[in-house]
């Protein structure tokens, strides 16, 4: 019995788009859950992270409490960062939809403006949190500063040019 192996298997564009949309939806859901969890932990200092501690090795579990304390010491910056970040994470995926751009242009434009306005406090609060109040040492601080500077440069470029 002879099996022809010369034909390549092709994944259609629709399947790729569906996979990408599902991946983005999962990442947005994780981000929104993280925003809600962090906001809840700021509002309720008794919020338990026992499940997270159980997933970590015993030598690393203390970092959960240290990170929570670190965020709790800077509640205004943390809230500014996570609320604006949650808004950006929910709206940003819609910016890449050609269907939304062509059918609902006003929504596309206004959500882009809201994203740009939300991005400024995200970048600035992230830089302040990472640079002025470092957690993780100099390597982590330099990575936060580099990523934050690039993020703010992209936002300012978009704001100045109007289209990135």
How does pLDDT run across 12-49, given as a tens digit for each residue?
Answer: 777 777 888 888 888 888 888 888 878 877 777 656 66
Q: Which sequence spans correspond to the domains of the chain?
A: 14-161
Q: pLDDT digit string (tens) for 125-142?
A: 888 888 777 767 778 778
Query: Can you tell me the distance from the alpha carbon of 118 to that of 112, in angstroms, rounded to the nearest whole number?
Result: 10
pLDDT classification of 92: cutoffs 50, 70, 90:
confident
Tokens of 3: 């099996």
Tell me the percentage of the chain whose pLDDT exceeds 70.
86
Q: Once rounded to an integer, what is the mean pLDDT over residues 112-116?
A: 87
| Res. 164: pLDDT tops 60 | no
pLDDT at residue 159, as a whole number: 77
Query: Can you tell me the distance from the alpha carbon of 12 to that of 72, in angstroms, rounded to the nearest whole number?
Result: 48
pLDDT at residue 35, as a whole number: 84
**Distant-in-sequence, close-in-space partners of 160: CB < 8 Å, separation ≥ 6:** none
Higher pLDDT, 73 or 45: 73
pLDDT at residue 163, as a whole number: 60
pLDDT at residue 47, as a whole number: 63
């Amino acid at each position: 019995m002879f099996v022809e192996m010369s034909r390549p298997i092709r994944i259609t564009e629709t399947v790729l788009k569906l996979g990408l949309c599902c991946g983005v939806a999962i990442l947005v859901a994780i981000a929104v859950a993280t925003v809600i969890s962090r906001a809840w932990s700021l509002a309720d200092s008794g919020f338990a992270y026992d499940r997270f501690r159980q997933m970590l090795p015993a030598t690393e579990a203390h970092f959960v409490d240290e990170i929570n304390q670190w965020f709790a010491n800077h509640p205004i910056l943390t809230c500014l960062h996570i609320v604006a970040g949650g808004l950006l994470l929910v709206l940003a995926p819609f910016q890449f939809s050609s269907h939304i751009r062509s059918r609902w242009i006003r929504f596309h434009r206004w959500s882009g403006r809201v994203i740009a306005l939300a991005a400024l406090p995200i970048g600035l609060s992230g830089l302040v949190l990472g640079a002025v109040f470092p957690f993780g040492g100099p390597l982590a601080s330099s990575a936060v500063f580099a990523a934050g500077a690039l993020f703010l440069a992209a936002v300012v470029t978009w704001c100045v040019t109007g289209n990135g």
